[in-house]
Structure 1
């Protein structure tokens, strides 16, 4: 998929900017531009975080129409001395990235409105990515990336980049730090809603014959609650670590069970795993999948994996860039965690006794990957 940046560096764009030179000079210039662009691209995420923390999208949404910067500032909560010029510079970036719209009135004021992107930053809606954005930009979550080069030099025998940064592995820290645990769970819940909607829409017949379903690593039950609401005949079992399910709310048709997926998994007609296996090495995934196979019926059971299928380099799908970005995050956060290609998934299924698999694309970052014992 061609990006705004790639268009900017195209020969036609260079000609339009009256930038001339021999091919070698232009190539050198473009190389410089590319490094500057990627060096500073983190500032887009910083600007998004500012907008989420200040509830800019919500303020505009509640107003019901585009607003001036002054009106937006007047509606920011707990802002005794707002710095309007700072907000202007943040909004300038976000308008350039088409997160917000901006147009001039006849009186010369600039009015800022919502776009299809900023609607995903709203707090007071089920379909939002705001909690995930705050998680991905939190220092606990992002600082381990600074230790990746150390892991390349030394390996991970003494811990992941996350461990080198914080002294604990990620899933241990969620049990030790209530603030991070809350932030992590909220991020997972918001993505669960988005993905579950796509799963339910794109896997319409997949749940019909299932009477019991275990959501392995289901967090506080967000994904499973959406599935059971759409398919009320299903008996849902939300399975996760004891400290995770301890904070889970009650849902009709769902039982919360604490345990360790590396030891055993509750028996059911089918196993559901959303965004779980990408957190773990092949060796860990083999243990989990073998336990899944033991938990389902030999002839009629199946495992439903909702995870990204990384496309080969050179492909230009909607979520390809995001997939490679998440793979970089997993380098920092998890011991052996990675995004996998179809061939990677196939090897895992062959190693764990699943006779066949099927990949179903849905309108989400992830795909549905079915695995069958026979």
Structure 2
């Protein structure tokens, strides 16, 4: 909640706009939307925790002047106007609409069912389709993380991309030159091409999509490219904790999706018609899984 408040108050943007470390009073004077003077005491208490968590830094001048607050590598991800920002994701995941399903985990254990539906009476896609405000919040959150992951794919998977002659992204995308949009239902059929990006669904749905991909793949050099988390039970990497957190996030927000271990990916790949696969690490939370059809 402290992080959310910092994003809402645009504290990282305020410090960044000055170009140097600044005092709490300077930060407060730049906060927009206050009907009265900002409460600097409350701001100080919020910043104290965020400094301890290394979101911001604080410097105490030797002359006894007011403490000076500055950005860290982490807080630069909170800049709203940056090309790669996680601010919309922070606001989305900490919004009451998205927080509410987390309070239903114990009921899901006792009764089964979908946490999001228990909280809101309908699943996430149904709420998004009927609520423009929620739809924008959700899309903005996913779009910002997609930019970060796409950048990691381009830097960490150059060799894999260079060999692709045609690519089908199984999902929605904006219009660009050279891009053809084909309407339909990926659970029934997928257009012919050399590769696909598969998003996370429940096991049965994943197998259906993979089998349709298998039918559409050409006999030579066809493959499925899956950009997803591979959970490592004993992992100690920088992203490994987040894999477990995102798995719980899938309980909260999806209707059967989950983050999978390599063993779990192997199972659904084999049932989908892909007996061979290769996992490629990229500098991001997800990995790339290249899956090859049984007859290659």
**Residue number in structure 2 paired with 1:55:** 10
SS class of match (1:112): strand
Aligned residues: 292
Matched, 1:120 2:92: no
Q: RMSD of the alignment, in Å? A: 1.4
SS class of match (1:358): strand
**Rounded Cα–Cα distance in structure 2 between residues aligned with 1:150 and 1:329:** 16
| TM-score between both structures, scaled by the size of structure 2 | 0.94
**Rounded Cα–Cα distance in structure 2 between residues aligned with 1:266 and 1:62:** 47
Shift of 1:258: 4.1
**Rounded Cα–Cα distance in structure 2 between residues aligned with 1:350 and 1:361:** 21
- After superposition, give the CA deviation of every residue in 1:231-281 in whole Å (9 maximum; x if it has no partner): xxxxxxxxxxxxxxxxx4x433333444332222232221123xx22xx22
**Residue number in structure 2 paired with 1:141:** 98
**Rounded Cα–Cα distance in structure 2 between residues aligned with 1:336 and 1:187:** 20
Structure 1 gaps, min length 5: 1-45, 222-247
Correspondent of 2:144 among 190, 209, 231: 190
**Rounded Cα–Cα distance in structure 1 between residues aligned with 2:122 and 2:160:** 39
- Contact 1:144/1:161 (<8 A) preserved: yes
Matched, 1:254 2:179: yes
**Rounded Cα–Cα distance in structure 1 between residues aligned with 2:254 and 2:247:** 10
**Residue number in structure 1 paired with 2:27:** 72
**Residue number in structure 1 paired with 2:43:** 87
- Contact 1:135/1:187 (<8 A) preserved: yes
Shift of 1:177: 1.3
Correspondent of 2:204 among 283, 306, 327: 283
Aligned residue runs from structure 1 range 144-223, under 5 A: 144-156=101-113, 160-217=114-171, 219=172, 221=173
**Residue number in structure 2 paired with 1:16:** none
Aligned residue runs from structure 1 range 303-322, under 5 A: 303-312=224-233, 314-322=234-242
The one of the two structures with greater contact order (alpha-carbon pairs below 8 A, sep at least 6) is: 2
Structure 2 gaps, min length 5: none
Matched, 1:272 2:197: yes
